[in-house]
Amino acid sequence: MVRRRRSAGESAAGPAGEPVPGTAGAGEPQGPQRRHGLLDPPASPPLDRPLHVDPSWSPARLSAQIVRSALRFVAPGSALLILYNTALMLQPVVIGRLVDEVIAPAAAGTGLSALAETLALWAAALAGLYLAMNIGYRFGGRMGWFGVQRSHYELSRTVLERLLDERGTADPARAPGALLSIATADVHRACLVLYATIYPPGEVVGLVLAAGLLVAVHPALGIGTILALPLVLLLMHLAARPLRRRSLAEQEGMADAAAAAADLMGGYRVLRGLHAQSVAADRYRAVSRSTLRATLAARSAQAAFTGLSTAAAQLFAVLVAVAAALMAFAGTITPGQLVTVAGIAVNLVRPLDALVGTLGSLWAISQASARRLLDLLAVPPHPAALGHVQGAGPDREAADGTGATTGSRGTGLVFEDLQLPSGSRLTGQIGPDELVVLDLPREDRAALRDLLTLHAVPDHGAVRAGGERLHRWRPSALRRHLLVAPSVPGLFTGTVLENVRATGEDPVPPERARAALELAALAGHELPVGERTAIGDGGWELSGGQRQRLGLARAVAADPAVLVLIDPTTSVDAVTEARIAHALQAGRTGRATLVMSSSPVYRAVADRVLTPAPAQGLST
């Protein structure tokens, strides 16, 4: 029977969301759980995935899929905005009828009692239109916003799953800041296509309705508007081209600046150690100034387009209103119809501007971001991480039923005529109860680290763990069997003990974490409040030696079958290093331990020292 482990804070519930009898804690209310409304956030992330992305798609197809996945928000949102634009264009008609049927007769001397019913009718119609405008715009825009947020969430899940895929990527590593920009800003901008889908139908309906109403007032006005509208739209579209082009350059520059800033802050301590702050600042200043120039160019283009488009739309409205005024003076149309035409002409300005300016800009920006997202998602996994073996020995027996009898902890690590970048070859085995030192040049260490972490495939020779070549292992399974402790450990906000316990999905027991801290010589007396000391984000509250020992303690607490350490104590004094080396040799009994280091301290406690040879063979 398989049991699903509940996450912290998750209540026990039946399949329909009802509490399972007997699981509520003391003081917890019994009864059905609260039902969430359409616009309320769910209690936990939904399991359904309405947005599926194929990296081979074009940006336009990705945008169409985003719209399709949010159709339950797009359709009612568009309907409500159509209601808004319809009411907006009908409002001048009602006002014009009110002028013709109430105000004009009243000015001619008709009594209020004779006009009361007509006044009430048109006043009620006007109030109804205002109500429809308010409801349509408020809730239509809200549905659009909610659709963007939901699509943003779905697309973010897809991007993050790719970024965190255990099989990595075949492309060279991208800067963390660039990945952050794609996973946040580009995801958001790609989802803005929903705004370019929800609003335009209502604006198109509004323009068509306006033309029809003008035809009803006078055929010449309507036909003139119908003929002039495409010309106005074309001129505004041409005027928007520089804005779209410069907006894309601005967005790309902002992404580059954000990436550079994130990378600069992430490596600031290292830069200070190298006294390279001025060089890093100069590089960021160059990126920032380039972004500033792109932003100023985009703002200038936006100001020019806003002025031109507003002037064109208002000039068009003025011409329509002037034509109507001339017809009114000639007696062709009534005063109320003049008011109607003037109101419709004013209301034409907003949809004209939105259809050309906002729609064009949103579409161009969303397409550029969609292209970057698809490029990231299309990167294939690393060829060294395509294996599917889940384990060896008992692990393999549980995974694929081979019935192997040798345990995975008893197989160690094997090098078979492995050629290293320096030209030397490495052959040998690290037994399950050995601490072995391997002294390699820096480039060979880096190459061997990449092989052991499935970031490279050997050109010649092989590395085996658990009886299998490394590239046949599934990455997650290999990490449980073989752990290469990073030279710079990734530490998170929390206490020292919490960081040591964080070795996987389930924290290791506190006792094992404390034993690992003792092995790493990270004694409680050198920390302000011992193991409960808060280390800050990235461990910047600790010294370099304390961070290094904290990373070592975490690796030891994970207790893998094979542990690989690369210069684990370069930031500690000689006495502490000797203490750690002896404790490591005694504390890893029954486990294979490989230390890549030139330190004589580890040579003194090692069971064997391996030295690669220029040809096949191994000197010991």
C-alpha pair distances (Å), 335 with each of 110, 216, 328, 452, 545:
17, 15, 6, 86, 87
202: Cα within 13 Å, side-chain hemisphere: 29
Alpha helices in 378-474 (DSSP H): 394-400, 442-452
The structural domains of the chain, ordered by start, are 59-377 (1.20.1560.10), 394-619 (3.40.50.300)
| C-alpha closest to that of 407 among 137, 217, 591 | 591
Q: What is the pLDDT of residues 78-137, one digit of tens each?
A: 999 999 999 999 999 999 999 999 999 998 888 888 999 999 999 999 999 999 999 999
Outline where 70-186 has alpha helix (H).
Answer: 71-98, 104-107, 112-163, 176-181
d(CA 582, CA 603): 11
pLDDT digits (tens, 9 = 90+) for 408-418: 444 689 999 99
Phi, psi torsion values for 114, nearest 5 degrees: -75, -20
SS (H, E, C) 165-194: CCCCCCCCCCCHHHHHHHHHHHHHHHHHHH
Residues 255-280 as b/e (b if ≥16 CB within 10 A, e otherwise) read bbbbbbbbbbeeeeeebeeeeeeeeb
The answer to whether 201 and 67 are in contact (CB under 8 A) is: no
* Res 411: pLDDT: 63
Q: What percent of the chain has pLDDT over 70?
A: 81
C-alpha to C-alpha distance for 439 and 295, rounded to whole angstroms = 52
Cα 501 from Cα 551, distance rounded (Å)? 11
Q: Map residue 74 onto helix, strand or coil.
A: helix
In contact, 613 and 417? CB cutoff 8 Å: no
Mean pLDDT of the chain: 82
pLDDT band at 403 (very low <50, low <70, confident <90, very high): very low
CA angle 597-598-600, nearest 5°?
Answer: 110
Given a contact cutoff of 8 angstroms between Cβ atoms, the answer to whether 195 and 144 are in contact is yes
Question: Which is more confident, 357 or 107?
Answer: 107
pLDDT at 402 over 70: no
Is 564 in contact with 533 (CB distance < 8 Å)?
A: no
Phi–psi pair at 507, nearest 5 degrees: -60, 145
Q: What is the pLDDT of residues 425-458, one digit of tens each?
A: 999 999 988 999 999 999 999 999 999 999 999 9
Residue 492 has pLDDT above 80, yes or no: yes
DSSP string, 299-365: HHHHHHHHHHHHHHHHHHHHHHHHHHHHHHHTTSS-HHHHHHHHHHHHHTHHHHHIIIIIHHHHHHH
Strand-strand pairing, 562-566 and 482-484: parallel
Name the residue among 317, 324, 322 with its Cα closest to residue 352.
317
Please state, in angstroms and rounded to a whole number, the distance separating the CA atoms of residues 571 and 550: 12
Amino acid, res. 431: G
* Per-position b or e across 550-575, b if 16+ CB within 10 A of its CB: bbbbbbbbbbbbbbbbbbbbeebeee
pLDDT in tens, 220-275: 888 887 888 777 777 766 766 676 667 667 666 766 677 677 667 666 666 666 67
Q: In the structure, what pLDDT confidence band is assigned to residue 520 with cuts at 50, 70 and 90? A: very high
DSSP state of 389: B
Separation between Cα atoms, residue 164 and residue 183, nearest integer Å? 12
Predicted local confidence at residue 40, as pLDDT: 61
Angstrom CA distances, 599 to 135, 377, 603, 616, stand at 74, 43, 7, 25
Strand ordering across the sheet containing 462-465: 425-430, 413-419, 462-465, 468-469
